[in-house]
Structure 1
Amino acid sequence: MNLNNKVAILTGSSRGIGLATVMALLDNGASVAGWSRSHTEIKHPNFKYIQVDISDVKSVENGYKETTSHFGNDIHILINNAGLGYSSLFEDLKIEEWQQLFDTNVNGIFYTSRLVLPQMKKIEYGHIINISSVAGNTGIETLSGYCATKFAVRGLSKALYKEVRNHGIKVTCIYPGSVRTNFFDEIDGATANENMIKPEDIASTILHCLVSSPNYHHVEIEVRPLHVKK
């Protein structure tokens, strides 16, 4: 896929993987609608920040209307990156935290993807990339709620790619290991460190998927740091 004249929606655009990916997309000719609750500090003629809470279906629908009003109806790329995590023993996880995890990490993907798919099918062209986690492939103690949501992202992605592949639409699920972002601010006993994956490296993987030839489909990609902090 040549990214010139392509329009992308990216959730969680204000920092970390999202911010690095926005910059990579812009550098390669795409126009980008950056969706997040907090402002995305990017000045570029092909970028538009739109305040969206992906856990709120009305906010997503309003954000989509604003996006298509600005860029036109054809959305070629959707990157579902926004997410959050909480660390606790299973029985200590608060009900509102459990619900917020699913509202953001799972429901948000449903709310966004259901909007772009009809027009992607119409033009027989599109790519949805869902950012899961290695926690979507393996259980991690004290992260049961987060793991549950990321396993859900895995199942959703694997089913959806089979559903839409014959419409010319790719669905890719990426499972990053520890990434050097603010995610660990909310995780007890863990801090971001120099041995973690750089957000720019995840952005390069996303870009590689997007520019691959039309009949070459990355379905699942797991990436981890080579060296771990001891």
Structure 2
Amino acid sequence: MNLEGKIAVVTGVSKGIGLATVKALLDKGMQVAGWGRTAPELQHDNFHFFECDVRYNESVQRAFDQTIARLGVHISVLVNNAGMGVAALLEETSLDEWHTMFETNVNGIFYCTRLVLPGMKELEEGHVINISSIAGTTGVEGMSGYCGTKHAVRGISHSLYKEVRSYGVKVTCIYPGSVQTNFFDNIDQVIASDNMMRPEDIASTILHALESHPNYHHVDIEVRPLMPKGKIKK
């Protein structure tokens, strides 16, 4: 897809992968609508922030309506990046923590994607990027709730791409390993380090998928740090 001048929506833009993706899309000449609970520290003529909590359909609908009113009717790219995780054994996970993970990581994708698909199908061009996790391909002890949500993202993505591919719309699911973000702030067992991937690395992968030939479709992309524990000391 030629990205210049087209409209993208990115969720969870305050920092990390979301903010890095916004910057990468702006560099390609896109008009970018950032949906999030907190505005990032970013000033750019083509960046437009709309307050949005993807856990709530009403909030997503309002952000969508505001985006269409300001930028136009044809959204070409949606990056479903907003997400959160809690590390806890299943029986020690609170109801609020469980519900918040599923409302954010799963329901949020549904609320956002259902609104942009009709326009993409009408345009016969569009790309939905869903950020899952390595946790969406395997089980992780002490993170059953988070893994459950990311497995759901995988299932949604695999089903959806088959629903929309004949309309010229792509759906790509990305499974990052550890990334240097604030995701680990509330996970005592792991500390973000330079051995992890950078948010910019994930943004570059997103760009690669978006700019591919119209008939070339990345369905799944798994990315990991090369040396997650650093170089072996000789």
TM-score by length of 1: 0.99
Whether 1:225 aligns to 2:225 is yes
Letter in 1 for 2:4: N
Post-superposition shift, 1:5? 1.2
Query: Which residue number corresponds to residue 39 of structure 1?
Result: 39
5+ residue gaps in structure 2? Answer: none
Query: Which residue number corresponds to residue 96 of structure 1?
Result: 96
SS in 2 for 1:10: strand
Whether 1:105 aligns to 2:117 is no
Distance 2:221 2:27 in 1: 23
Distance 1:88 1:127 in 2: 34
SS in 2 for 1:17: helix
Post-superposition shift, 1:228? 1.6
TM-score by length of 2: 0.97
SS in 2 for 1:50: strand
Query: Which residue number corresponds to residue 186 of structure 1?
Result: 186
Post-superposition shift, 1:188? 2.0
Structure 1 runs, 4 residues or longer, greater than 2 Å off = none
Whether 1:130 aligns to 2:130 is yes
Superposition pairs for residues 132-171 of structure 1, below 5 Å? 132-171=132-171
Query: Which residue number corresponds to residue 72 of structure 1?
Result: 72
Post-superposition shift, 1:30? 0.8
SS in 1 for 2:75: coil
Query: Which residue number corresponds to residue 27 of structure 1?
Result: 27
Whether 1:15 aligns to 2:15 is yes
Distance 2:26 2:50 in 1: 16
How many residue pairs get aligned? The number is 230
Whether 1:60 aligns to 2:56 is no
5+ residue gaps in structure 1? Answer: none
SS in 1 for 2:229: coil
SS in 2 for 1:76: strand
SS in 1 for 2:217: coil
Post-superposition shift, 1:187? 1.1
SS in 2 for 1:77: strand
SS in 2 for 1:218: coil
Q: CA RMSD in A?
A: 0.7
Post-superposition shift, 1:156? 0.2
